[in-house]
């Protein structure tokens, strides 16, 4: 590999300048004026292909759950703002990212607890893992939440979360584009002046208005840059996948996969974050491909494994794992009788908007990666 790269550097004109005492002192002179010679960094800042600092990680729910629950005894939501245990990618610790420019964490609330309303430049989503009675309020729209429901809190919207008095302890996964917004140096944050917002619409009005398959409220004038449907419930999502599965061969790389969309446009749910739910049929094993963009999966149902850059990760319900940009990945359902479902959120809307999306299949080895670990 090293020889091949050296060959390409000479033949294709990449930077290939050896240090001499004269050059080294020249670089020191340049540094004094906050400058540098491009050829000392060119190969690093313009790689041949995407180089992710993120590594594939599997966060097992059976490891995390007790630690997440313990935080309830240690801090109150009013002290913590949000009582969340966040997921740290070993290659992205300095930006608190779970992968690439995406953040994720597990938030826990007990019955009767409420977290104050705030808004920020980051867009956020939640995927409910366990418990009864959780709710989120987004700009006056209150949504009641159950396991595997998916909720949006688009950037700029006031949002707060809680669990009703008659509920049970609730845990959900948060997903935000905090690292991206910080990288773009565009983040504002504000706490609601009254600490909480009024519920100004009937409860669950968003799903009542926009949740009808293929139907749009007559004469609506929704023009905001995010989905008017803030909650995507599990039951209709699973039903849609089952029906689609009965009539499609599916994707060779993802099985039966459907995107959550903004029903007003057909586009992604928010401007920076997209999401999908996919079903791997009993015994289904997909082929490997890779693409730009960062991906965080939660196992909504079933058990199986994914091979990511040659490493096998065995997962079960509620486990979370990430696929870094340009990492080869393939998925398998370990059951011969039950389907498996993977929820995923990603930065694909950013990749597409900036024309940075690129994709390729693994051609060798019948489309499967040799497993190295
Ligand atoms: O609920 O808005 O996990 O602002 C991290 C930052 C959740 C939230 C997180 C946040 C939120």
Q: 72-107: per-residue pLDDT in tens?
A: 999 999 889 899 999 999 999 999 999 999 999 999
296 lines ligand 1 (CB under 6 A): no
The 3 state secondary structure assigned to 276-288 is EEEEECCCCECCC
Reported confidence tier of residue 2, pLDDT bands at 50, 70, 90: very low
What atom of ligand 1 comes closest to residue 104's alpha carbon? 3
Share of the chain above pLDDT 70, in %: 97
The answer, yes or no, to whether residue 9 has pLDDT greater than 80, is: no
Atom 2, ligand 1: which residue's CA is nearest?
124
Rounded CA gap, 274 and 277, in Å? 11
335 secondary structure, DSSP code: -
Residue to substitute in 85, 106, 107 for testing ligand 1 pocket (most ligand atoms within 8 angstroms of CB): 107
| Ligand 1 mean position, distance from CA 159 (Å) | 10
98 torsion bin: left (phi>0), alpha (psi -120 to 50), beta (else) = alpha
181 lines ligand 1 (CB under 6 A): no
The answer, yes or no, to whether residue 8 has pLDDT greater than 70, is: no
| Ligand 1 mean position, distance from CA 118 (Å) | 9
Provide mean pLDDT across the span 343-362: 98
Provide mean pLDDT across the span 230-255: 98
Q: What is the pLDDT of residue 15?
A: 87
174 lines ligand 1 (CB under 6 A): yes
Provide mean pLDDT across the span 36-50: 95
| Ligand 1 mean position, distance from CA 136 (Å) | 12
Atom 10, ligand 1: which residue's CA is nearest?
82
Exposure on the CB side of residue 19, measured as CA atoms within 13 A: 7
| Ligand 1 mean position, distance from CA 106 (Å) | 10
Contact (CB, 8 A) for 290 and 33: no
105 lines ligand 1 (CB under 6 A): yes
pTM: 0.95
84 lines ligand 1 (CB under 6 A): yes
The answer, yes or no, to whether residue 13 has pLDDT greater than 90, is: no
The answer, yes or no, to whether residue 11 has pLDDT greater than 90, is: no
Strands 150-153 and 189-191: unpaired
125 lines ligand 1 (CB under 6 A): no
Average pLDDT of the chain is 95
Share of the chain above pLDDT 90, in %: 93
Provide mean pLDDT across the span 226-250: 98
| Ligand 1 mean position, distance from CA 79 (Å) | 14
The yes/no answer on whether domain 58-367 falls in CATH 2.60.120.10 is yes
Rounded CA gap, 266 and 278, in Å? 18
Residue to substitute in 77, 80, 84 for testing ligand 1 pocket (most ligand atoms within 8 angstroms of CB): 84
| Ligand 1 mean position, distance from CA 156 (Å) | 13
- The 10s digit of each residue's pLDDT in 164-215 is 999 999 999 999 999 999 999 999 999 999 999 999 999 999 999 999 889 9
Provide mean pLDDT across the span 302-322: 98
176 lines ligand 1 (CB under 6 A): yes
Q: What is the pLDDT of residue 14?
A: 82
- The 10s digit of each residue's pLDDT in 124-173 is 999 999 999 999 999 999 999 999 999 999 999 999 999 999 999 999 99
What atom of ligand 1 comes closest to residue 86's alpha carbon? 3
Rounded CA gap, 103 and 175, in Å? 6
Enumerate the domain spans of the chain.
Answer: 2-45, 58-367
């Amino acid at each position: 590999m090293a020889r091949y790269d050296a060959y390409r550097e000479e033949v294709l004109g990449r930077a290939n300048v050896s240090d001499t005492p004269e050059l080294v002192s020249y670089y020191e002179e340049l540094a004094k004026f906050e400058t540098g010679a491009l050829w000392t960094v060119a190969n690093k800042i313009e790689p041949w292909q995407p180089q992710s600092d993120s590594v594939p990680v599997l966060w097992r729910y059976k490891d995390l759950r007790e630690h997440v629950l313990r935080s309830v005894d240690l801090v109150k939501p009013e002290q913590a703002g949000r009582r969340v245990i966040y997921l740290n990618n070993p290659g992205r610790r300095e930006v608190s990212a779970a992968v690439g420019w995406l953040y994720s964490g597990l938030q826990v609330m007990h019955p009767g607890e409420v977290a104050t309303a705030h808004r920020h430049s980051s867009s956020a989503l939640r995927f409910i893992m366990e418990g009864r009675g959780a709710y989120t309020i987004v700009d006056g729209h209150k949504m009641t939440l159950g396991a595997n429901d998916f909720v949006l809190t688009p950037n700029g919207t006031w949002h707060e979360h809680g669990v009703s008095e008659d509920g049970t302890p609730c845990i959900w996964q948060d997903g935000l584009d905090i690292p991206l917004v910080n990288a773009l140096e565009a983040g504002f944050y504000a706490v609601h002046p009254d600490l909480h917002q009024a519920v100004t619409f009937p409860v669950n009005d968003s799903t009542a208005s926009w949740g009808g398959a293929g139907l749009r409220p007559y004469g609506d004038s929704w023009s905001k840059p995010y989905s008017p449907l803030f909650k995507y419930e599990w039951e209709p999502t699973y039903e849609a996948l089952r029906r689609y599965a009965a009539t499609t061969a599916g994707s060779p790389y993802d099985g039966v996969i459907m995107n959550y969309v903004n029903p007003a446009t057909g586009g992604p749910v928010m401007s920076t974050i997209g999401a999908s739910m996919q079903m791997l049929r009993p015994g289904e094993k997909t082929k490997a491909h890779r693409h730009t963009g960062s991906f965080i999966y939660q196992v909504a149902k079933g058990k199986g494994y994914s091979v990511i850059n040659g490493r096998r990760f065995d997962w079960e319900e509620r486990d979370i794992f990430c696929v870094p940009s340009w990492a080869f990945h393939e998925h398998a359902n370990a059951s011969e009788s039950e389907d498996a479902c993977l929820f995923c959120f990603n930065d694909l809307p950013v990749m597409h908007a900036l024309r940075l999306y690129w994709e390729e299949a693994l051609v060798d080895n019948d489309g499967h990666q040799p497993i190295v670990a």
